[in-house]
Structure 1
Amino acid sequence: MKRQVIVIGLDGATFDIIDPLVDEGHLPTIADLVSRGTKGRLSSTIPYATMPAWPSFMTGKNPGKHGVFDFFSIAGGRRHLSTSQDIRAKTLWEILSGAGKRSIVMNVPGTYPPARINGVVVSGMLTPADAEFASPPDVKGFLDQATDGYRINSRSHLSGRKLVDDVLEVTEKQKRGFVALLRREDWDCAMVMFRATDVIPHHFWQKQNLIRECYHYIDAFVGEIVSAFPYAAIFLISDHGLQAQPSDFHINKWLIDDGYMSIKIGHASQVSRWEEIGGLEGRAQLAESHLRPSNAFRVLLRMGFTGRSLRKVMPRAWWNALKRSVPRSIKDHIPATDDAAYDVDWDHTLASAYQLYTRESKAIKIVNLDQRSREGVCAELVEKLGSLRDPQTGGPIVRRAYRREELYEGPYVDQAPDIILDLHDGYNLTNAFFADDYVTSRDEVRGCHHREGIFLACGDDIERGKGLGYHPSLLDVMPTVLHYLESPVPDDCDGRVLKEILESGSEPHLREVVYEAMDWEGRGGDRSAPYGDDEQAEIEERLRALGYL
């Protein structure tokens, strides 16, 4: 019988939630996999964010070698959402294709537009609503029939219980479609990624009953997949973990207070803001970014009517009830703060984290400086941020501030943000210019990313009941799967084959790892512009609903 591998990605899953639920008997599938396999906490990329984490998983390489550092990339003078075309290294399934093996890939971020491989690709979260999401294209019709209308994304305008139910409905359709594809197709490696374990904790961290319900459903879905294909090895992984976020770090306020950023009265449209950034960077097409405030938004802002002004005059209980009850369609027309009236004064700014990257990337860009001056400002910021203290607790905020050259290596390092922050637990960035202090407590704790994800492997020739005493890297999973399936590993791979998870004396444990040079020659698929303006606006709204923008 040929070897088969199923990789199941649980976006944002953490053993901090899983282990107590396993101990209480609520996750029987995962408990069984732990008893029959090898378990460890997985160390994600820095930043520990969806992008670049999933592209780093699928290539086994650091972002400096594949070129994706955030949900947004810059190419041809344009700021655009990162796509499969921006990942400039061979992926797990492309390497398997070259070795004559077939793969089924479903719902993995960074796979839109779907590439042509030996097998099937169904793209994931950055796919526009009405786009062609499957390769080959006839797979779409099969999935629609198998699932009574296949879906990739939940509806970002929903809230409360309706959002939870919609996320779980999408997940159930993806599980059904995945199982149906695996039963129809011949395959050696299959992968599906479920987003519920990220979306629900982001929104509902303070409602732990909803998070427990989510994990219970996911455990059942994983159980159906494992039961349907009992001879396949299972790799259960996450791109990062999640944690409580009680505190906001207003990085731009700190940059302003320390003289690195200047602001000025804003424009009527944020398009003008991007014209400034475009001119500054020599990237005029950045002006095509949208984010145009409505007329109602502008009127309320001129009147000084903002979410912050309401919060100051309302009791906290009333404020929290209002936030939960007002539909998103109305909230979108109410400015959150008077920050919306201001822009970055790029002519007098040295460093900014404002609207250039998603918040989870925790990134800073240096502007207006030659190379030598840039080095000096980078050094200053790294030193100051590393010693920065929370004014409320006196504790450190930044675990470490990295210069891009410290984190990454490869041909695309110069496309990375200048500084990337690894924050201590409980903090996340905001884009706010103004706040009572550069760190403030949140009215409502939400979920934010943590670097520790999950790793669990179970199957033939894999050690049983073993716990790893260290944190394997997310980048180790791809070469380990390749070796397990008797395929070569790229000789410039940053991850390594985890032979220690294989049973001593087993065939894959004894077999030497085969390394090969694998030059990047481009990716097959639709090479036209992947997003129109309306499609980019739609996807940015989804990211905004998660708190990424």
Structure 2
Amino acid sequence: MSDDGLDVLLIGIDAGCLPVFDRLAETDTIPTLERLNEDGAVGPLESQIPPWTPSAWPSMYSGVNPGKHGVFGFVSYDGYDWHVSSADHIDELTLWEILDEHGMSSVVVNAPVTHPPADIDGAIVPGFIGPEDPTCHPQGTLEEVRDELGEYRVYPNYSRGDTDYTEAEKMEEYRSLVRMRGEAFRYLADEHEPDFGFVQFQKTDTVFHEFGGDWEKIRTVYDETDRQVRKIIEEHDPDTVFVASDHGMGKYEGYEFRVNDYLDDEGFVEVTNGGKGMPSWNPIRNELREGKDVDSWEPGLIEKMASGAAKMGLTASRIRQALETVNLDEVAMRYAPEDVARTGNKQVDFPNSIAYLRSRTELGVRLNVEGREPEGIVPPDEYDDVRAEVIESLRSVTDPDGNPVFDEVAPREQYFDGKYTEDAVDIVTIPRNFDYFLSDQIRGEYFADPTETFNHKLDGIITAWGDGIDADADLSAAHLFDVAPTILSALGVPYNERMDGDVLPVVEDVGGHAYRSAETQDDRDSPEAAVENRLSDLGYLE
């Protein structure tokens, strides 16, 4: 590795994938990313289950499955209640923590689920699903970045569906957020001169969720992303560059399948009116965007009133149906608080249900097990039989055209391994070709058009370019878990033996090491622990 510039740069493109890159290449939108792909090794990167941002990125930068690191989705659960996932829930060492133990520094900008940040040699500016004004490392970094750049935000200055902003203004906001990532990274890389750099671009995913298949808008976001990637490479001259995504993106050709409606008719779900609503990070996101450092969400007065009305039979959906008859439904949706629909509609009665879909992004069904859930009703000695019954039922589901909805319905042990497996869904449900949008909402019918026409696909992208890279290597079998051990090997650092991935054939495998567990992290502050860890890293201690 050279003394000048970055040794290794990881560029995170959320939802990046070969089909999207190929289409953008046709209009010369991503010349920098194209050059890396043409001169380096490139291939599909199979994501994990579930292939969603808050669980997949921690799996990528820790190299382990969610059963080991502990984050399965946007929210984590405390019984039937939920709170936003954070770095405190990631119980495994990250790339930058391992590098820190080897005396190597890192700058990490906008990586999801990194708030609160780790104490490392270098700098961390947390990204998605943290607060708008995140605690950064070192202390004062965010203020320093804002003083230098004039502005730095995690979230857009408008909420999705906001009609006060034109589409042109929204796209300018997208460009600004992408630019902020690149500028912040370049500034901090100048200040800290790190060995390893990681910058993540989130808007390459969000543009699909918000605007569907509007390729003009997609090109706008990728044009700015490519520009920022080019500037980083030009200014910081990395020896080796990796481009990786947490999952892919594509059009959903199938239906929306409302799992809880189906489980209700099958006798596994009980339904109630009113309450807090189905578990979701959406109301928490709104408060984070407003600058609040919140952990969970509780309904306000209006939401509680909507919940009370729903319990009396006056649900939000019934009110909207009535308004539709007099053409006032759009007015009501514009002025009514967004979360009224959460508390004012039918939802799963968790304590009285046998099995349910808690959140669509978990991609699975949870059983209400006695002794595990606060008011569990499935006896432990009946767990296997009940789970087998639910699996058999879901495997039989076909859409209105007679096609199977699921590629696989399987016990969680096929996908999760580790001490947090008990926190996972009990049954994993994988939609066929990822063409079906799974919904946790109760609407009284199983199938509808997908709520979002574009959504996550299983295959992302992996690119390796630069010094020490075998550009002819076959990356056709690359998996998300392989990214962390490969990057560590590229830096000449042993990977964590607990990692589930392998070193990709683009670099030489330097071998593994039995690192400390993440839960002993606080012990590093003592001089004795520091000496012991260093000796262990050097091979003097077993």
Does 2:472 align with 1:472?
Answer: no
Alignment of 1:417-456 (within 5 A): 417-424=425-432, 425-435=434-444, 437-442=445-450, 445-456=452-463
Does 2:138 align with 1:136?
Answer: yes
Aligned twin of 2:248: 241
Indicate if the aligned counterparts of 1:146 and 1:176 stay in contact, CA closer than 8 A.
Answer: no
Cα RMSD for the two superposed structures: 3.0
Aligned twin of 2:512: 515
Aligned twin of 2:371: none
Alpha-carbon distance change, 454 to 308 in structure 1, aligned in 2, over 3 angstroms: farther
**Paired residues, what number?**
485
Indicate if the aligned counterparts of 2:302 and 2:340 stay in contact, CA closer than 8 A.
Answer: no
Q: Deviations over 1:282-321 (max 9, x none)?
A: xxxxx97513462685699676664862696599xx98xx
The offset of 1:264, in angstroms, is 3.2
After alignment, is 252-261 or 302-311 more displaced?
Answer: 302-311
Does 2:50 align with 1:47?
Answer: yes
Give distance in 1, aligned partners of 2:453 and 2:428.
22
Alpha-carbon distance change, 293 to 167 in structure 1, aligned in 2, over 3 angstroms: farther
Structure 1, unmatched stretches of 5+, are 273-286, 503-508, 526-549
Give distance in 1, aligned partners of 2:340 and 2:78.
33
Give distance in 2, aligned partners of 1:451 and 1:189.
27
Equivalent of residue 483 in structure 1, options 460, 481, 489: 489
Aligned twin of 1:309: 321
Aligned twin of 1:532: none
The offset of 1:445, in angstroms, is 4.8
Indicate if the aligned counterparts of 1:115 and 1:524 stay in contact, CA closer than 8 A.
Answer: no
Equivalent of residue 338 in structure 2, options 319, 332, 340: 332
Aligned twin of 1:255: 263
Aligned twin of 1:226: 233
Aligned twin of 1:83: 86
Indicate if the aligned counterparts of 2:306 and 2:315 stay in contact, CA closer than 8 A.
Answer: no
Equivalent of residue 191 in structure 2, options 184, 201, 212: 184
The offset of 1:87, in angstroms, is 0.9
Give distance in 2, aligned partners of 1:311 and 1:452.
42
Aligned twin of 1:496: 502
Aligned twin of 1:157: 159
**Identity level (%):** 27
Give distance in 2, aligned partners of 1:230 and 1:109.
25
After alignment, is 296-305 or 169-178 more displaced?
Answer: 296-305
Q: Calculate the TM-score normalised by the size of structure 2.
A: 0.82
Indicate if the aligned counterparts of 1:352 and 1:365 stay in contact, CA closer than 8 A.
Answer: yes
- For 2:267, the aligned partner's letter is G
Equivalent of residue 198 in structure 1, options 205, 213, 238: 205
Give distance in 2, aligned partners of 1:304 and 1:157.
25
The offset of 1:140, in angstroms, is 1.7
Aligned twin of 1:362: 363
Alpha-carbon distance change, 347 to 37 in structure 1, aligned in 2, over 3 angstroms: closer
Equivalent of residue 349 in structure 2, options 345, 352, 367: 345
Give distance in 2, aligned partners of 1:311 and 1:523.
57
Alignment of 1:156-175 (within 5 A): 156-158=158-160, 159=162, 160-175=167-182
The offset of 1:326, in angstroms, is 6.5
Q: Deviations over 1:26-81 (max 9, x none)?
A: 22111111111010110111011112101111111111111111122246997322
- For 2:321, the aligned partner's letter is S
- For 1:449, the aligned partner's letter is H
Aligned twin of 2:272: 264
Indicate if the aligned counterparts of 1:203 and 1:446 stay in contact, CA closer than 8 A.
Answer: no
After alignment, is 229-238 or 58-67 more displaced?
Answer: 229-238
Alpha-carbon distance change, 20 to 138 in structure 1, aligned in 2, over 3 angstroms: same
- For 1:514, the aligned partner's letter is G
Indicate if the aligned counterparts of 2:274 and 2:308 stay in contact, CA closer than 8 A.
Answer: no
Give distance in 2, aligned partners of 1:130 and 1:405.
38
- For 1:440, the aligned partner's letter is A
The offset of 1:494, in angstroms, is 0.6
Give distance in 2, aligned partners of 1:413 and 1:229.
41
Partner of 1:522, secondary structure, is: helix
Give distance in 2, aligned partners of 1:431 and 1:271.
8
Indicate if the aligned counterparts of 1:116 and 1:524 stay in contact, CA closer than 8 A.
Answer: no
Give distance in 2, aligned partners of 1:48 and 1:138.
34
Indicate if the aligned counterparts of 2:86 and 2:130 stay in contact, CA closer than 8 A.
Answer: no
Partner of 1:201, secondary structure, is: helix
Equivalent of residue 208 in structure 1, options 215, 227, 239: 215
Partner of 2:344, secondary structure, is: helix
Structure 2, unmatched stretches of 5+, are 280-294, 369-376, 523-542
Aligned twin of 1:407: 415
- For 1:178, the aligned partner's letter is F
Q: Deviations over 1:400-458 (max 9, x none)?
A: 123221111112211212122211232112222124x312124x753211111111111
Partner of 2:449, secondary structure, is: strand
- For 2:486, the aligned partner's letter is T
Alpha-carbon distance change, 326 to 343 in structure 1, aligned in 2, over 3 angstroms: closer
After alignment, is 250-259 or 145-154 more displaced?
Answer: 145-154
Partner of 2:429, secondary structure, is: strand
Aligned twin of 1:384: 393
Indicate if the aligned counterparts of 1:11 and 1:198 stay in contact, CA closer than 8 A.
Answer: yes
Give distance in 2, aligned partners of 1:75 and 1:340.
23
Partner of 2:463, secondary structure, is: strand
Indicate if the aligned counterparts of 2:60 and 2:480 stay in contact, CA closer than 8 A.
Answer: yes
Give distance in 2, aligned partners of 1:311 and 1:13.
41
Alpha-carbon distance change, 375 to 298 in structure 1, aligned in 2, over 3 angstroms: closer
Give distance in 2, aligned partners of 1:270 and 1:242.
28
Alpha-carbon distance change, 270 to 76 in structure 1, aligned in 2, over 3 angstroms: closer
Alpha-carbon distance change, 65 to 350 in structure 1, aligned in 2, over 3 angstroms: same
Alpha-carbon distance change, 335 to 141 in structure 1, aligned in 2, over 3 angstroms: closer
Partner of 2:468, secondary structure, is: coil
Indicate if the aligned counterparts of 1:6 and 1:235 stay in contact, CA closer than 8 A.
Answer: yes
- For 1:25, the aligned partner's letter is D
Alpha-carbon distance change, 310 to 229 in structure 1, aligned in 2, over 3 angstroms: farther
Give distance in 2, aligned partners of 1:119 and 1:137.
11
Indicate if the aligned counterparts of 1:488 and 1:516 stay in contact, CA closer than 8 A.
Answer: yes
Give distance in 2, aligned partners of 1:49 and 1:271.
18
Q: Deviations over 1:221-257 (max 9, x none)?
A: 1111122223431111110111223521101100011
Aligned twin of 1:539: none
Give distance in 2, aligned partners of 1:114 and 1:224.
26
